[in-house]
Structure 1
């Protein structure tokens, strides 16, 4: 045997794995299950040994996932999480009990999937998209970690989403469904709901947020046709006892005096939905004691969703990227900060309803700074977004770079605070609030910048595997 043949083959590094996946991302995405079915077959179908809580929806599915998975972890189960998009780190998308997959494990599993794709290519088979590849990596990891359950968030839609390759769905969950991705997964709310309802599997339990009547009817009919039980959150049974931008103290049905660690108008629906999931699991014989519910809600962290960063000035980030989310964000700002000056940092994708988002949020602001997003191909240029925002807030400027927008917003807040002190105006009227919102894709950069330069009080951004 030649010396070079005996030499151990060089392993793929994390950086090389990311370069490989970044190259794949240039080819876009394709809805359908045939390709990922072939890839997973080549990998030994790791998903078939796992049980899933599968979550679809337009707004709130990430928060429902965070509550549900944290509660189940507190109950002693080994819980996998698969989420997208990520905010702090690429590694966030694959977690076990709240800890991110390590760089070494990610590289090792990417190498396995890369080898499988090479075999498919040699056989003339269709090659997977980057999301399908990432999904396969996640399933391999969750099987390796012997997860009791995987809480799985759909990528786009439901029926033809790559995550819908799974069969062992214990519970299909629906966060709030509204109009988004028009023309991709449907042209009307009803068509979108039908597509998302595709995650329902025969005999699984179905849990939904409180929906518009037409959406509820679609989900109920699909559940009935698939011989599934159906529960829907009842917001009339949700009692808010105390609420501010640090969280919500509330009661829901038999659960009394709980504390949710996430704030925002949308969290009421998300909390009720997550608790209905837990009630359903208990009914199925999957034991989740109230102590785990209580501690899980308090320990839940979900960066980028009405996340509080610092107190003076108050600095928040929120990934409101469509009309429904923007409306709920506006309601939260008006509820928690009535009469306060708002400095807005805004960045959105060009394929989103940016005119509606601007019309909802920009009238609240005294100053708006628009930014370009890291995804150059999808970003709405800061200059074009500024032109739109100026219709609703005259003091609008295209900052362009995220760093410049954060610096300008902090300086504007400092000047406003100083004017308040000099004029002896009330703190409520004078101390400004900074809100960075729009796409989730740039909020991680905002969080890191604020943390590095201003000493943020971030309220949990996930736990990285050491």
Structure 2
């Protein structure tokens, strides 16, 4: 069985979750490779991937070799493990993963539980980064922070917490304060923290946690007034906020890297699936929770205003998201006149008829709503239907974005 298939068959969850101590035991058996790297640890609800991409670009441009571990992948699993921004190739991925598979078998025989899907990929990334001799390792949390596998790292160089909103409430808590507490679990003694302080309920929790450790904190609003006007080349305000967090982090990591150099690096960043224009007037955006959709709405309104065009929408979600509230927000703020709702190729897919009913319920203008059997079918229909005065936005799920990008690549 190819190693990629072996990994895809691993469970996302296990009846008995490996504790942080268990994960540290596995890392120790790997030779404590992570302790030889300068690690930047990134948590948050939205913006983690963008911050990782921004920071990777700046560090690479500053002359460093950088390993970046992100999730999820959009098309291929290799996208989760980047060396100097490039997805690891199949040979190196397989070599690293086979080492982890062999070690997992040995440790399971000694009583440790087998790694889950995300744990296995995390170990594979650490192995690959060590083999590549990276100077910096940027780790994006998978879910939450406090109990996330990446939090087994004991001494990062820097921690970053991006914006926090409602998502994964069944695991992280029902209130912003509870969710923020889980994200703040990555904060460590003696490790500086850069964070988005624009959401008071979350900021209070983060600041209290930081004070308990007596660490240095650097809040986004300290620099927003200065940096925001310099970032007009981004097509969305949330991208500017993420860029500011990245710039503040870079200043701490590499003070000699000038402001001009930072801006030059940021202009080069290509982060797939985040308000990405894949064809003229065709955008894909991975917004998949309330905070993400609110940022998506703001960016969409700005783009439509600047181009003097109307939004039309290709939208679908997975069933464990607050789809109804997302749709209500979209209808209230964007009033799209055409909506295509495809069935996603995942067992987690939302029911398309239910999504269509919610669009029908909340739309305030005449709106053509079409359900489709697949993303490919919906995308083709939307492309053929789009008029010159319309911009097509595809949003609601990273699964949706991945399927569209995969179709475009083919």
Equivalent runs, 1:164-313 vs 2, <5 Å: 164-234=151-221, 237-238=224-225, 251-252=227-228, 257=230, 260=233, 262-282=234-254, 287-311=256-280
Deviation at 1:28, TM superposition (A): 5.2
The normalised TM-score by structure 1 is 0.82
Please name the residue that 1:435 is paired with: 393
The alignment's TM-score, normalised by the length of structure 2, stands at 0.92
Mapping 1:379-398, distance limit 5 Å: 379-393=349-363, 394-398=367-371
Per the TM alignment, residue 120 of structure 1 is displaced from its structure 2 partner at its CA by 1.8
Select 2:55's aligned residue among 36, 61, 68.
68
Task: Within 5 Å, give how 1:365-376 maps onto structure 2.
Answer: 365-376=336-347
Contact persistence 1:210–1:269 (CA under 8 A): no
Contact 1:235 1:269 in 2 (8 A): no
Partner residue, 1:22: 8
Larger radius of gyration: 1
Question: Any conservation in 2 of the 1:92–1:101 contact (CA below 8 Å)?
Answer: yes
Q: What pairs with 1:311-326 in structure 2 (closer than 5 Å)?
A: 311=280, 314-326=281-293
Distance 2:381 2:304 in 1: 21
Q: Report the CA distance shift for 1:272/1:26 in structure 2 as closer, same or farther (over 3 A).
A: closer
2: CA distance, partners of 1:305 / 1:99: 18
8 Å contact kept, 1:234–1:272: no
Segments of structure 2 that go 5 or more residues without pairing to the other structure are none
RMSD value, Cα: 2.0
Structure ranking higher in helix proportion: 2
Aligned mates of 2:300, 2:231 — CA distance in 1: 23
The whole-number CA distance in structure 2 between the counterparts of 1:102 and 1:257 is 36
1:39 maps to which of 15, 18, 26: 26
For 1:100 and 1:178, locate their aligned partners in 2 and report how far apart those are by CA, in whole Å. Answer: 29
1:361 matched to which residue of 2?
Answer: 330
Structure 1 unaligned spans of 5+: 1-14, 240-250, 418-430, 453-466
What is the CA–CA distance in structure 1 between the aligned matches of 2:250 and 2:232, rounded to whole Å? 16
Q: 1:347 aligns with which of 301, 313, 316?
A: 316
- 378, 396, 402: which one aligns with 1:405: 378
| Secondary structure class of the residue paired with 1:391 | helix
